[in-house]
Amino acid sequence: MNVLDTDFAKQFVRAAAEGWRQGWHECNGGNLSYRLRPDEAAQVAACLDPGEWRPLAEGVQAPGVAGEHFLVTAAGSFFSNVEREPQACAGIIEVDRHGTAFRPCWGFAGEGRPTSELPSHLLNHEAKKAATEGACRVVYHAHPANLVALTFVLPLEGKAFTRELWKAISECALVFPAGVGVLEWMNPGSVELGRASAELMRDHDAVVWAHHGIICAGSTFDQAFGLLHTVEKASEILVKVRAMQPEPRSFITDENIRTMSDAYGLGIDVA
């Protein structure tokens, strides 16, 4: 079967296109990756043409995803073009048996290569695979404007940031009861950023990168996209509320959050 005829490739293209339409991907900003299931890799095996092995960034090892295949966006590609030119804006790679190198197998037309955030994606995939017993398969990084704006005014600390989001819209506690992790500004594309994110991803499905964006993970494209969408909508509400009234007259209280947690079995500790 042709790669672009598979369900996973269609969902990948759809997620990228919708992210562009949301305004989360200026220029070549953001990246997306999907860890193929063994049956999906076998399904497209005849289409793969493995190239030369290339080392990951110096010192990066991701043995937890060794031997796996990933569909990832290409370095420098624009999300606005993924729907129109998927084979140029994305490609499939295979990770070697040690988790220290990769080789392109499909796509990246025109001498393209995987996103510069590839080490971060693989490290986060490794962390989420272990934390979810293999269920998590999507890692999505974007630059939603309202969320980025909040990183200039909210404390860059996970619990405090999470509480502000939870109090903005009821849906938040339901969608991400484990809260969000938060990192202070770190150099984009750096191994340090990837490692720090992966550490927080062990306990969260979303990590905010101050003055940069967010990285989210999910078992499906809908879960990862929906999580990011929910965080950004809450951020938009907070930005509007703060613009209208610095000290809001009402908001979702800790007791309200406890009520939701008890009603839906979320296990949230609001202490």
- Are the CB atoms for 108 and 88 separated by under 8 Å? yes
What separation in angstroms does the CA of 187 have from each of 83, 120, 196?
A: 29, 12, 12
Name the catalytic one among 40, 68, 94, 117: 117
Residue 246 — φ and ψ, nearest 5°?
A: -55, -35
The three-point CA angle 122-56-49 to 5° equals 85
- Beta strands 181-183; 54-55: pairing state: unpaired
Active site residue 117: yes
- Beta strands 181-183; 138-142: pairing state: unpaired
In the chain, what's the furthest Cα-to-Cα distance? Answer: 61
- 267 exposure class (CB count in 10 Å sphere: 0-12, 13-18, 19+): exposed
Ranges of H-type helices in 67-113: 79-82, 86-89
Six-digit token string for 102:
């990769």
DSSP string, 196-263: HHHHHHTT-SEEEETTTEEEEEESSHHHHHHHHHHHHHHHHHHHHHHHH-SS-S----HHHHHHHHHH
Catalytic residue list: 117
